[in-house]
Amino acid sequence: MNLVFLRRIITTSIGRKLIMAVTGLLLVGFVSFHLMSNLVLLNGQEAYNTYVEHLTGVPFLLFIELGLLSLFLTHILMGIYVRWEDYRNSPSGYKKRNWQGGRTIGSATMLYSAVTILIFLVYHIITFRLSDHSIGFYEMVTNAFRDPIFATIYVLGGLAMVLHLSHGVQSIFQTLGINHQKYTPFIKLGGWIIALTMAAFALLPLIFLFGLESHFMGMLH
Amino acid sequence: MSDIMKNFSVTINVWRQNSASDKGSMVSYPVNDVSPAMSFLEMLDVLNEDLIKKGDSPIVVESDCREGICGCCGLVIDGNTHGPDKNSTVCQLHMRRFKDGDVITVEPWRVKSFPVIKDLAVDRSAMENIMQAGGYVSVNTGAAPDANAVLINRADAEESMDAAACIGCGACITACPNGAAMLFTAAKISQLALLPQGHPERKERAINMVEAMDKEGFGNCTNEYECEAVCPKEIKVSNIARMNREFLIANFLSNK
Ligand code: HEM
Ligand code: SF4
Ligand code: FES
């Protein structure tokens, strides 16, 4: 068996980028689905609780969750490794250095947005996944959203997602070798649209914090 | 004579380092009687004449063609790779871009894989090693082949020529926040991948050059696109996408 093609994916720079891009793409798929699920909150207690019961009732849930966990872990650990390597190799010691317009706010803050998402993620899993669900999902989530500190962490997490994906989405395409003068402008635009959609993660807690949920009730049917 | 053509004085704040193992530091020198028509390198020549007369050692700075085609020169001036002008090498920079009293910071390429030889000259052998790993085509020597024996469509030839414009200066690596050599390597892989002459060795070239690039200790690309912004030859990052494609296809779809 010749496994050199697998070894190259782990040991070469382009291979590692491929891992970042593929896990990133799958994570974009996951968070998009997660966001749609969150929006069901706006349809009220009954709708949300029924929805979550369906969702958590799927067979092999544990395997799906483990798959998701390994997806996150691969992305995070490879991200940290690649960045550590870059940190060692990057040009340093300049007395003066100006960026020339290639970088964007999103790309220059990739590591900071990543760390923010990571902190958010750990907090999110502790408070919602490993917590006591007995009062009902809707109650648990909306009570949490009405807590200003909790809401703040969510808003920061959501905004970090906007930043991370403002660079990340178009970056996936470039890494996978898709760059074309006809399509790249649309890919970049699409990347921003997906990124800005992530602001909804930040908006939901604010809606509940300020008690505005009744205005949205029934809007999403 | 118009005011614009008057000679002026500047202060050069330049990196001095005796050898790769020396720590190095910034040293300031006044340069008087600078003509706006001088190139930046000519201004350094004038300063060096002065230093030699004073018994000081001249600032070592690399250049060859001084017309933007050889890739020898390369400095970071006031924090700008290849100086303040876009799409231009340092040798094409003129003193008319500066004014009287300017303090100009001059630094070498500070890339980990480019050790300083002396002052502003760095050792770019790492780029040569990438080339040696596959940046060529193997041809049979013998009688010259008929020029029209291999037909190449115009668009491919143009795209290949665009990639072949890379002069191997290393600015893209210097400018990259990660010290990645992707734009350079991508240009060298692309110029051959686009031509039929490059096809027989296409797959091993992609793999070997990428592996050589990693071996030299260059960073990983995070698609910051700073390389494209500083490249004097306007090499596009679409070449990096092509290199990724070449590498992934060679890795997954061939028996290499
Ligand atoms: C949980 C914490 C996370 C960490 C620590 C993390 C870390 C990183 C790092 C270090 C990079 C590479 C930086 C760069 O290319 O400049 C990256 C890229 C990326 N991340 Fe994340 N990330 C996290 C979460 C996420 C999530 C939740 C998503 C998707 C919704 C995501 C999507 C992406 C994408 C699409 C890329 C670009 C991949 C590419 O360049 O091809 N990341 N991430
Ligand atoms: S790609 Fe541009 S910046 Fe990089 S080595 Fe070639 S000419 Fe210089
Ligand atoms: S000296 Fe040849 S490109 Fe500048």
Q: Is the CB of B235 under 6 A from ligand 2?
A: yes
Q: Please check whether residue B17 touches A, CB under 8 A.
A: no
Q: Tell me what pLDDT residue A87 has.
A: 87
* High-pLDDT (> 90) share of chain B, %: 91
Return mean pLDDT, chain B. 94
CATH class of the domain whose range is B2-118: alpha beta
Q: Please check whether residue A7 touches B, CB under 8 A.
A: no
What is the model's pTM?
0.93
List, for chain A, all residue ranges whose pLDDT scores fall below the cut of 70. Answer: 218-221
What's the alpha-carbon Rg for chain B, to the nearest Å?
21
* Cα-based distances in Å from B244 to A87, A124, B70, B207, B210: 22, 36, 27, 10, 9
Cα separation, B187 vs B190, whole angstroms = 5
Cα separation, B187 vs B223, whole angstroms = 15
> What residue spans define the domains of chain B?
2-118, 125-253
Ligand 3 nearest atom to the CA of residue B66, by list position? 1
3-state DSSP assignment of residue B118: strand
Q: Tell me what pLDDT residue A90 has.
A: 84
Q: What is the DSSP letter of B39?
A: B
Cα separation, A132 vs A140, whole angstroms = 9
> With contact defined as beta carbons under 8 Å apart, do B199 and B138 qualify?
no
Q: Tell me what pLDDT residue A133 has.
A: 84
Phi and psi at residue B116, to the nearest 5°: -70, 130
Q: Which ligand is nearest to the CA of B218?
A: 2
Q: Tell me what pLDDT residue B2 has.
A: 55
Q: Tell me what pLDDT residue A59 has.
A: 87
Instruction: Band the pLDDT of B4: cuts 50, 70, 90.
Output: low
Q: Which residue has the tokens 């990057």?
A: A90
Would you say residue B140 has pLDDT above 70? Answer: yes
Q: How is domain B125-253 classified at the architecture level of CATH?
A: Orthogonal Bundle (1.10)
Asked if B2-118 and B125-253 have one fold, the answer is no
Q: Is the CB of B74 under 6 A from ligand 3?
A: no
Please give the residue of chain B at the shortest CA–CA distance from A182. B238
Q: Tell me what pLDDT residue A132 has.
A: 84
User: Structural domain tally of chain A?
Assistant: 1
Q: Please check whether residue B252 touches A, CB under 8 A.
A: yes
Over the stretch B77-94, which tens digit does the pLDDT of each residue have? 999 999 999 999 999 999
Pairwise CB contact (< 8 Å): B214 & A12: yes
Domain that holds residue A35: 3-216
Residue A155 domain-assigned? Answer: yes
Cα separation, A152 vs A145, whole angstroms = 9
Please give the residue of chain B at the shortest CA–CA distance from A99. B226
Over the stretch B12-64, which tens digit does the pLDDT of each residue have? 999 999 998 999 999 999 999 999 999 999 999 999 999 999 999 999 999 99
User: Which of B42, B61, B70, when mutated, tests ligand 3's pocket best, judged by the most ligand atoms within 8 Å of its CB?
Assistant: B70
Q: Is the CB of A71 under 6 A from ligand 1?
A: no
Residue A122 domain-assigned? Answer: yes
A 10 A CB-CB count for B231 gives 26
Q: Is the CB of B66 under 6 A from ligand 3?
A: yes
Would you say residue B171 has pLDDT above 80? Answer: yes
Q: Tell me what pLDDT residue B31 has.
A: 96
* Cα-based distances in Å from A27 to A30, A204, B198, B220, B222: 5, 20, 38, 21, 18
Would you say residue B3 has pLDDT above 80? Answer: no
Choose the closest CB to A179 out of B81, B207, B238. B238
Would you say residue B143 has pLDDT above 90? Answer: no
Would you say residue B174 has pLDDT above 80? Answer: yes
CATH number at residue A199: 1.20.1300.10
- Compute the CA torsion angle B169, B175, B176, B181 (nearest 10 deg): 10
What is the CA(B24)–ligand 2 centre distance, in A?
27
